Amino acid sequence: MTCETCKIDAKRFGVNRNGTLRFRCPKCRKTFSEPRKSLLGNMTVSTEKTLMILNLFIEGTSVRSTERLTGVHRDTILKVLVAAGEKCEKLMGRLIVNVPVKDVECDEIWGFIQKKEGHKGPEEAHDNTIGDAYCFVAIERNTKLVLNFALGRRDTATTQIFIEGLRAATSHHRFQITCDGFRPYVPAIADTLGDRVSFAQLIKVYGTTEEGREARYSPSEIVETEVVPVFGDPDPARICTSIVERQNLTIRMQMRRLTRLTNGFSKKWENLWAAYCLHFAYYNFCRIHRTLRVTPAMQTGIADHVWELAELLA
């Protein structure tokens, strides 16, 4: 180490409590520490602790459990999550662009922040940072790559933002897109992707709930499905949403914030968004898909190897 003032070599002068070396200039007697390397900018959490925290999040561990397992305070853990989420968001925005696709499936998964929509008071009725928070997800059916996602209310505005992001993620080659019967999809896809897609909706028709059946979170029995070609020339054999609906199960299994009937739900919007960014980046680049035997990014040609978690944060 060199003293910036005197421009001479400094001598070792002990160790800080966090394990970094201290140095002292023999001329001006100024002391300073060696630069501390961190995956997340200015955060002082060690690389080993950072990776352990994020691996626990990826496996569906709650914040309090992570605090007990790592010995890191919960506020610091949430800061690590937000910082990692920001890096993952930028990574996906940089790499998942102009991807050639064949079949895209879209769906929404429900969650909430602080409290459920029906529990909001009159003073919170117009606060969109509290209550329902839907994540719109678009996945390529053949490569299993998550192309785009958007977090917001289940409304026209969020749908439009989601479809605009999907346009940036896909190439100009024509492809087929399938979604459920949510009405705002029709104008959003027609306006934004009408020049490159064949579009169809798969609408599920539910029967009435049987008396005495527990239906708090379980939908009624599906009595039939309606295939509705909207425009273009969609292939009936490829009109399907099963892959993206299976992805919803993966999300709920690996994100503690979406586990039913627990107190692990998100209390802040930015924390839920960061958790989604971390989950989808890890899913695309690090996790080997069982049926593909490679990661979705490798199957698409975006990556040439299985990424380590540290590579997402580099």
DSSP string covering the chain: -B-TTT-SB-EEEEE-TTS-EEEE-TTT--EEEPPPP-TTTT--S-HHHHHHHHHHHHTT--HHHHHHHH---HHHHHHHHHHHHHHHHHHHHHHSSSB--SEEEEEEEEEEESB-GGG--GGGTT-TTSEEEEEEEEEETTT--EEEEEEE-SSHHHHHHHHHHHHHHB-SS-EEEEE-S-TTHHHHHHHHHTTTEEEEEEEEEE-PPPTT---SSSPPPEEEEEEEEEES---GGG---HHHHHHHHHHHHH-GGG-TTSS-SBSSHHHHHHHHHHHHHHHHHTSPPTTTSS-HHHHHTS-SSPPPHHHHH-
Does 20 have pLDDT greater than 80?
no
State the pLDDT confidence band at 10, using cuts at 50, 70 and 90: confident
Does 170 have pLDDT greater than 70?
yes
Give the pLDDT confidence score for residue 33 in this predicted structure. Answer: 83
The whole-angstrom separation of Cα 128 and Cα 74 is 25
Does 214 have pLDDT greater than 60?
no
Are the C-beta atoms of residues 171 and 101 closer than 8 Å to each other?
yes
Does 67 have pLDDT greater than 70?
yes
State the pLDDT confidence band at 125, using cuts at 50, 70 and 90: confident
The whole-angstrom separation of Cα 74 and Cα 192 is 42
Give the mean pLDDT of 8-26.
Answer: 84
How far are the Cα atoms of 38, 47, 201, 291 from residue 51, in angstroms, in the given order?
11, 6, 41, 27
Give the mean pLDDT of 94-120.
Answer: 95
CATH class of the domain at 48-313: alpha beta
Give the pLDDT confidence score for residue 277 in this predicted structure. Answer: 97
Mean pLDDT over the full length of the chain: 91
Does 120 have pLDDT greater than 80?
yes
